[in-house]
Amino acid sequence: MDAAINPGNSGGVAINDKGDVIGIAMQIITAASNISYVIPSIIVNTFLEDIKDGKVDGIDSVKNGFQPLINDTLRHYYGIQDDKGVVVVKLDKNEHDLRLGDILLSVDGHAIYNDGTIHTPYGLMKYSHMLDTKPVGHQVLFTLRRDNQTIVVPYTLKQRYEIVYKEYFVQPRYLVYGGFIFSPITKNYLDANNLHSGCFDFQFENNTKTQHIKEAVFMQLEMLPHAINTGYKSSIDLVKSVNGELVEDFAHFVRLIDASTGEYTTIEFINFEHKKVILNTKKAKESFDDIKAIYGLSSDRKL
């Protein structure tokens, strides 16, 4: 829309010529004049449905992949005689309702055309429109072809798998060891340092060397200088192992550090194949007494 939005007058209703509320005025393009945007009422209604349980779950965001069946030969290969259907060719790690090779024919009774669109009151739109009108946890019904049979599959709306995620309403988790600060890598931390999660996602997606990782752990840019870590420097190093054991998640990392009893504790990283942090185990554990006094810390961890 072309209404000006300035501090203090966002959040107002947008009304059409019939007096219907069609959305909420929210944001602008700062580099342009009189170009502003509304959150459509259909999204507002979805949000209001979502928060009935007191928390925000969001809308379906799984990163499944689909191939259109526009090509005649491709349709013939799959035995599709009309202009309906798309093929599931990639599954998100959180997906458990669909299978590779499923041919989606309709969603909640709305036929899915071979370009992935459906008829809506607003014209032809991607079939995901039907998923975006309900919050995560709700179900839609997919009619699909699987193993040469047409079946109806309940599909639960869900969030996509993200190894680098954003946390809400929780305190950051961390462990201070030898003056290094270790924590799960989150979008919260990256945003605070003007870094994009895409720079780190590629380290884990389709990487056979990181398939064991359930939660990415990293060594923060910030260090607490002490004699124990003299000469070391962090550049957001992604933790691979502790004393040769592969790290699965942050809780596992903390257990491995606490269980380290040998002369040395060796920490290796994913993004630097031969880089190691090697600390004298006894001195590293004792160093927190100094670090606590110098930097005013009350604990070496928040789990």
Judge residue 299's burial from the number of C-beta atoms within 10 Å of its C-beta, 0-12 exposed, 13-18 middle, 19 or more buried.
exposed
Q: How many contiguous H segments (helices) and E segments (strands) does the chain have?
A: 6, 19
pLDDT tens-digit map of 40-65: 998 999 999 999 988 888 999 998 99
Print pLDDT tens along the chain (303 aa): 777 777 777 778 888 899 999 998 888 777 777 788 889 998 999 999 999 988 888 999 998 999 999 999 999 999 998 999 999 999 998 999 999 999 999 999 999 999 999 999 889 999 999 999 899 999 999 999 999 999 999 999 999 888 888 888 889 999 999 999 999 999 999 999 888 877 777 777 767 778 888 899 999 999 999 999 999 988 889 999 999 999 999 999 999 999 999 999 999 998 787 889 999 999 999 999 999 999 999 999 999
Report pLDDT digits (tens) over 164-202.
888 888 899 999 999 999 999 999 999 998 888 777 777
Distance from chain centroid for Cα 46? 20
Q: Which of 177, 45, 40 is nearest to 122 (CA)?
A: 40
Cβ count near 255 (within 10 Å): 15
Read off the tokens for 219. Answer: 């060594």
